[in-house]
Chain A
Amino acid sequence: GDSVTQMEGPVTLSEEAFLTINCTYTATGYPSLFWYVQYPGEGLQLLLKATKADDKGSNKGFEATYRKETTSFHLEKGSVQVSDSAVYFCALSRPLQGAQKLVFGQGTRLTINP
């Protein structure tokens, strides 16, 4: 079945550091790929998405590229801020099987220190 594996946390960085959170997936066909963020005490928010190979999703300085050859969708940000502290989830969906039925990775807790 479909699965998502992401970098285990927690990850702790200093402000302005470069961030990479690795995500790889297993799925047949061409899933859509997502990064969701969960700030403390809140629900999930969509951070960015990519729906086909070589697409780059970007938002709030974060970006991720859909790499079909390596089945990866790594999240990157060039200079993190304290406000980026949250839990990040990589996810996939196979839209034709049911809209946004999402398969999530385990989540990576990110803490940014000032």
Chain B
Amino acid sequence: EAGVTQSPTHLIKTRGQQATLRCSPISGHTSVYWYQQALGLGLQFLLWYDEGEERNRGNFPPRFSGRQFPNYSSELNVNALELEDSALYLCASSLAGGSVRPNTEAFFGQGTRLTVV
């Protein structure tokens, strides 16, 4: 069974440009999560999508946005890139959780390393 796949694996952009990162969840998973792993800052929750809707977002500016498609894959868009956006962006997927499956596990992809120069 295929795991969570992310593309591209590496992305180099210039300050001010836009970056688009993609994530395909495990088959059958409807929830997708995005995390930022910046050097020295650990892993920070960015966004959570479930059934095509944004359910929650972390403490990030509006230039970080995304969407989830009908096939449950997801895109993360980062506009007006800044140098400090350079990080590893990890996507995770899970079965729908909340009160339905409170202890369901999230599976992570290998990440997209974004470098802003």
B103 touches A32 (CB 8 A): yes
> Does A102 reach chain B (CB closer than 8 Å)?
yes
Q: Give the A interface residue count (CB, 8 A).
A: 25
B111 touches A98 (CB 8 A): no
Q: What distance in Å separates the Cβ of A2 from its nearest Cβ neighbour in chain B?
A: 10
Interface residues on B, range: 20 to 34
Q: A43-B90, A44-B90 are in contact. Are A99 and B108 (CB under 8 A)?
A: no
45-75 of chain A: CB within 8 A of chain B: 45-46, 49, 51
Instruction: Tally inter-chain residue pairs, CB-CB below 8 A.
Output: 78
Q: What distance in Å separates the Cβ of A8 from its nearest Cβ neighbour in chain B?
A: 11
Enumerate chain A residues within 8 angstroms of B102, measured Cβ to Cβ: 32, 95-96
> Does A22 reach chain B (CB closer than 8 Å)?
no
Bound-complex Cα distance A47 to B17 (A):
37
B98 touches A95 (CB 8 A): yes
B90 touches A99 (CB 8 A): no
B33 touches A101 (CB 8 A): yes
Chain A binding surface, main DSSP class: mixed
Q: A43-B111, A45-B108 are in contact. Are A98 and B56 (CB under 8 A)?
A: yes
> Does B31 reach chain A (CB closer than 8 Å)?
yes
Bound-complex Cα distance A36 to B33 (A):
16
Which chain B residue lies CB-closest to A1?
A: B59
**Could you list which residues of chain A lie within 8 angstroms of chain B, going by C-beta atoms?**
32, 36, 41-46, 49, 51, 89, 91, 95-107
Q: A44-B92, A45-B108, A101-B48 are in contact. List 17 more A-B contacts (CB 8 A).
A: A36-B108, A43-B108, A44-B90, A46-B105, A95-B104, A96-B98, A96-B99, A96-B102, A97-B98, A98-B56, A99-B50, A99-B94, A99-B98, A100-B31, A100-B104, A102-B35, A106-B42
